[in-house]
Amino acid sequence: MKSVVEFMKEYFELRAEWSRSAEKAWDVERYGTGYRVVAEGDEEEVVVIEPVESGAQVITSSRLKNHDRRWRTRYQLAPAEESWQIARVENECSICEGTGKMNASECEVCKGTGWRPL
């Protein structure tokens, strides 16, 4: 079984390659729905990997070339044969900055979860 670390490394590399190529279509069957367009100079690194009931959850931290702020992305991974597949991708809620709270109450945009589907 491929480790989550290995899978994410492969995913980052492939995604960069796919983003540079107009001919290649993302292999949804093999890698799941987690395709994001990345540009040369964008950075994304794995911050935490946690086991969850459905497989594993990976939280990354990204910084796009022309932005100062970093933000987090959460990938839900499901086991697929000897590897993994990305079942779901969510970004940190930009309204509450991932806290789930607005002033003293629940953030209405992400319903208090701090995450929004990509």
Q: Measured from the CB of residue 97, what is the shortest distance to Zn ion in angstroms?
A: 8
Alpha helices, DSSP H only, in 1-118? Answer: 4-20, 28-31
Q: Measured from the CB of residue 6, what is the shortest distance to Zn ion in angstroms?
A: 32
- CA angle (75, 62, 105) in 5-degree steps: 70
| By CB under 5 A, residue 109 contacts Zn ion | yes
- Number of chain positions touching Zn ion (CB under 5 A): 6
Tokens of 46: 């794995």
Q: Measured from the CB of residue 62, what is the shortest distance to Zn ion in angstroms?
A: 18
Q: Measured from the CB of residue 96, what is the shortest distance to Zn ion in angstroms?
A: 3
44-83 footprint of Zn ion as x/- string (CB under 5 A): ----------------------------------------
Tokens of 105: 């109450």
What's at 59, amino acid-wise? I
> What is the C-alpha end-to-end distance of the chain, expressed in Å?
27
Say how far apart CA 40 and CA 53 lie, in whole Å: 35
**Taking CB under 5 A as the criterion, which residues in 80-99 touch Zn ion?**
93, 95-96
| List of residues contacting Zn ion (CB under 5 A) | 93, 95-96, 107, 109-110
